[in-house]
């Protein structure tokens, strides 16, 4: 069953998304190439892979948001995140992904802040989890922000041991 947030919860979650690019940049600013690209924890991503993953994932959420708002119960496709992380653009300097994430969040938060209760209730059908609404997207991506800040912090701590 799709989530239903209060207007206050929505405002707080949108604000969290708005602040996330600054928090991420603060966490990774000034890291060495070794700190960015070394896999310090087996079976987990490097800091750079995490940073590059974030705009990919959030872009998918942004597109899903737009599809839900403009189509009747659209199909929302999952994607192979681990395979995306193997592509050549994950070896670029992280500044490209940080800028992409920053600008994406400006647009995404602008759209989210403009929505009515009826807009938040609209749904799409996700290929992996079924029916979702925009409140579900807000919940998922607030948790996603927290999870990746925690993962990057844990990875950096492992590298400094």
Model confidence pLDDT, tens digit, residues 116-133: 999 999 999 999 999 999
Q: How far is CA 80 from the centre of its chain?
A: 15
Banded pLDDT at 161 (limits 50, 70, 90) = confident
pLDDT on residue 1? 73
Average pLDDT of every residue of the chain: 96
CATH no., domain 7-159: 1.20.120.450
Banded pLDDT at 147 (limits 50, 70, 90) = very high
For the entire predicted model, the pTM comes to 0.94
Span 44-89, pLDDT tens digits: 999 999 999 999 999 999 999 999 999 999 999 999 999 999 899 9
Q: CB under 8 Å to 18, separation ≥6 — which residues?
A: 105, 109
Domain extent listing, the chain: 7-159
Place of tokens 């925690």: 150
What is the secondary structure of 82-135 as a DSSP string?
A: HHHTTSGGGGS-HHHHHHHHHHHHHHHHHHHHT--HHHHH-EEEETTTEEEEHH
């Amino acid at each position: 069953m799709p989530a239903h947030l209060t207007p206050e919860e929505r405002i707080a979650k949108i604000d969290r998304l708005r602040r996330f690019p600054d928090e991420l940049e603060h966490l990774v600013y000034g890291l060495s190439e070794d700190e960015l690209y070394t896999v310090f924890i087996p079976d987990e991503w490097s800091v750079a892979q995490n940073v590059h993953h974030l705009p990919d994932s959030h872009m998918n959420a942004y597109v899903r948001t737009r599809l839900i708002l403009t189509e009747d119960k659209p199909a929302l496709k999952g994607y192979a995140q681990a395979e995306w992380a193997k592509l050549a653009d994950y070896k670029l300097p992280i500044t490209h992904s940080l800028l992409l994430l920053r600008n994406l969040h400006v647009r995404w938060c602008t759209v989210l802040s403009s929505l009515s209760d009826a807009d938040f209730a609209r749904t799409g059908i996700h290929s992996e989890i079924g029916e979702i609404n925009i409140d579900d997207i807000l919940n998922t991506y607030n948790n996603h922000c927290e999870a990746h800040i925690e993962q990057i912090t844990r990875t950096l701590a492992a590298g400094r041991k």
